[in-house]
Structure 1
Amino acid sequence: MEKPWYKQFWPWFLMLLPFSVIIAMIITLTIASQQGDNPMVVDDYYKKGRGINAQVEKVKAAQELNIEFSFEQNEQTFTLSYASGAPEQLSALKVNFYHSTQAEKDFSETLTADAQGVYRGTLKYGEKGKWTITITPFDNRWRVTQQIQLPAYRKLAIKPLTYGV
């Protein structure tokens, strides 16, 4: 006499395949729901595109003014000074540092010039790496963006380049 189906190997083996897919799907959905929103996905791409165009205009304004900075690092401090295109009245500068791979390390500083026209700031993270530095004046009329490698062992020229937008 034959065994009933539920005591045989093959029905259970064949049912195991779809059940394993269902379990894998549940695990995947659980992991995906715990991760939250993806910062790389933009909800309003039109608005983001308009913002990028506005930033390009600010870079062009910096190019027209021939603005260039000299960046120098000494341990955990840095100095910025105009190499060309300095305005008659030196205003405060907002300097943003964006880490190339770790957004939680991004930071910004608002700097004012000393009597010699030198802006001084402090670096928050002393580790090596590629950073994008963005400099804008207090009135936000122009923008200078460039990628730099820290630590900087020599004086760097920071110019308004359109690729950094």
Structure 2
Amino acid sequence: MNHHPMEDDRPWYRQFWPWFIISIPATAVVASMFLIKTAVQTADGLVSDDYYKEGLAINQDLSKARFAQAMQLKAQLFLDQDTRELRAKLSGKLKDLPNQLRLQLIHPTIKGRDQDMNLLGIGDGTYTGRLPELDLASWRLSLAPENAEWKLSGRTRFPQSSRATLEP
């Protein structure tokens, strides 16, 4: 009997390489099942339920920004990292400064993490409020008075950054 020293007499299912090759697509199947389960159980919150109505509201937002631009409005936000106190300094040509401002902190991807807060006027165009706990993200900011006559917007990386500028 002629027996080569490199030949292996074991059946295929007892060898390493067939199982290694089979494991590659098997791993892909298991990973895709996990991703499908995660996608079904987790809501993404990116798509608005009433996108048509929101599309029509863009024109109203533009008129608020135009009014703010005509009044040369601008706001500087300052965050005290230790106390989480947020100060807003409003400047521009408004005749009457509002008593209170509404600041919206809009998360870039998850609607459920959006935050609304009121900033109370303490005089001389300065407003103050306490910033809630936030995830580190690139937050979109929107500042408007109670009557929503004008609107300023901007972006910041609260709580990492301690300053932001809001403009029309």
The TM-score bracket by the shorter chain reads 0.5 to 0.7
Question: C-alpha separation between the residues in 2 aligned to 1:97 and 1:114?
Answer: 21
Q: Which amino acid aligns with 1:74?
A: D
Q: Matched residue of 2:122: which SS?
A: coil
Alignment: residue pair count: 135
Q: Could you list the runs of 5+ residues in structure 2 that have no partner in the other structure?
A: 1-32
What is the match of residue 5 of structure 1?
none
* Match of residue 84, structure 1, among 92, 95, 101: 92
* Match of residue 133, structure 1, among 125, 135, 141: 141
Q: Which amino acid aligns with 1:101?
A: T
- 1:152 matches 2:158: no
- 1:55 matches 2:95: no
Question: C-alpha separation between the residues in 2 aligned to 1:38 and 1:130?
Answer: 18
What is the match of residue 69 of structure 1?
75
What is the match of residue 122 of structure 2?
114
CA shift at 1:85, angstroms? 3.1
Question: C-alpha separation between the residues in 2 aligned to 1:72 and 1:157?
Answer: 9
* Match of residue 107, structure 2, among 99, 110, 118: 99
Question: C-alpha separation between the residues in 2 aligned to 1:92 and 1:51?
Answer: 23
Question: C-alpha separation between the residues in 2 aligned to 1:99 and 1:43?
Answer: 17
Q: Could you list the runs of 5+ residues in structure 1 that have no partner in the other structure?
A: 1-26, 161-165
Q: Which amino acid aligns with 2:111?
A: A
TM-score by length of 1: 0.66
Q: Which amino acid aligns with 2:54?
A: K
Q: In percent, how many aligned pairs have the same letter? A: 20
Contact 1:59 1:142 in 2 (8 A): yes
Q: What is the RMSD of the two structures over their aligned residues, measured on CA atoms?
A: 3.0
* Match of residue 46, structure 1, among 33, 41, 52: 52
Question: C-alpha separation between the residues in 1 aligned to 2:49 and 2:102?
Answer: 27
Contact 2:46 2:109 in 1 (8 A): no
Question: C-alpha separation between the residues in 2 aligned to 1:41 and 1:51?
Answer: 16
